[in-house]
Amino acid sequence: MSETFEEPSIVKENNAYIKPEMVVKNFAKTYPTPPMDTYQRFIQTSGKFFGCFGTFCCFCKNPYETVDQGEVGLVQTFGALSRTIEPGTSYVNTWSEQLTRVNIKVNTRELPPQSCFTRDNLSIAITSVVYYNIVDPQKAIFSISHIHQAISERTQNTLRDVIGNRTLQDVVEKREEIAELIEHVIAKTAAEWGVNIELILIKDLTLPPSVQDSFAKAAEARRIGEAKIINAKAEVESARQMRKASDILSSPAALQIRYLDALQNMSKNPGTRVIFMPSADSIEKIVHSQGLNQGHGAPARIPEESHSQERNLVENLLMQEAFRDV
């Protein structure tokens, strides 16, 4: 079954195909202005007249202003907002109009360290970074003075309020959650100023020396506890494997195999030796003579605590029975 893929929609502009996410919002707009009186008409006409000379000679101001990409121009006519211009070169009356450039790119502002008190009355210095951009130039310029300073102060105040309702442990462990909460709180106020909050990050936390020592000791104790748990688990697993090995080695078949291995190793030694192979009955008598029989005709299981000693004893007895010098 073939899969169908949906091609991204594209927009054709000036014989060039561009993706929708590449299209920049158009801020160009004309606003209604109150009717001008005689004096204002005279000033505007004079500005247009002398502006013509400004395009040719250097004694008059050039009436054409350039707005860079990533900016929006707000034109005020006799103090009232008359229009918004896009990036490029536009005519601005030098006598009656005033151009204000507004940066609509994402701004990065690192806030200075803020001394905050947590809910458990501990002091902490927090350095944060806020990312924001202007989405409504008219509100950002005419609804509040010094928009960048206002965003910084609003973020700092919200940061102190949020930290004051948290314990130090929460602040250290839940940075992202606290940053998202601060972003949610200031987003509504910033929207009224024509600003969109992109992201807030808690960059650094500075703890008092006494608190740092306490955290270091707690972390060390936690590591020691985890190491003890790991060692205990390893010892339990080792005991379990030793128990399995003990059960296997205490069986008659295992003793027989070890006995044959011992004979093979001894036969490789230099010298003239005569090896008498004991019968199975002889081996059983040797085992029974050492108290390894439980009275039911079968070899008893060797206890774990004395397994090594008894195993060595059986081996010595087998070797004494098997090898005799001529």
- Interhelix angle for 280-289 vs 307-322, to 10°? 140
Q: Is residue 16 part of a domain?
A: no
Structure tokens at 281: 């009955």
Residue 119: DSSP 8-state: T
For position 60, what pLDDT does the model report? 67
Query: 72-85 pLDDT, tens per residue?
Result: 999 998 888 888 98
Helix (H, G, I), strand (E, B) or coil at 229: helix
The residue out of 74, 103, 132 marking a domain boundary is 103
Query: 120-147 pLDDT, tens per residue?
Result: 888 888 999 999 999 999 999 998 889 9
Of 199, 171, 161, residue with least CA distance to 183: 199
Judge if 126 and 193 occupy the same domain: yes
Q: What is the CATH number of the domain that holds 193?
A: 3.30.479.30
Q: Is residue 17 part of a domain?
A: no
CB 146 within 8 A of CB 99: no
Q: Which whole-number Å values give the CA distances from 252 to 10, 136, 240, 278, 317, in the listed order? A: 83, 91, 21, 15, 15
Structure tokens at 119: 């809910």
Judge if 241 and 255 occupy the same domain: no
The answer to whether the pTM exceeds 0.85 is: no
Judge if 84 and 173 occupy the same domain: no
- pLDDT band for position 52 (cuts 50, 70, 90): low
The residue out of 75, 103, 131 marking a domain boundary is 103
Judge if 144 and 63 occupy the same domain: no
Region 187-206: mean pLDDT is 90
Region 6-34: mean pLDDT is 52
- pLDDT band for position 272 (cuts 50, 70, 90): low
Region 213-224: mean pLDDT is 71
The residue out of 81, 103, 125 marking a domain boundary is 103
Q: Is residue 6 part of a domain?
A: no
Judge if 71 and 39 occupy the same domain: yes
Residue 3: DSSP 8-state: -
Judge if 203 and 111 occupy the same domain: yes
The number of residues in the chain equals: 326
- Amino acid letter, 221: A
- pLDDT band for position 195 (cuts 50, 70, 90): very high
pLDDT at 294 over 70: no
For position 22, what pLDDT does the model report? 42
Q: Is residue 55 part of a domain?
A: yes
Judge if 235 and 255 occupy the same domain: no
As a whole number of angstroms, the distance between CA 66 and CA 90 comes to: 6
CB 27 within 8 A of CB 72: yes
Domain range holding 227?
215-249
As a whole number of angstroms, the distance between CA 203 and CA 132 comes to: 16
- Name the domain count of the chain: 4
Judge if 126 and 93 occupy the same domain: no
Region 170-189: mean pLDDT is 90
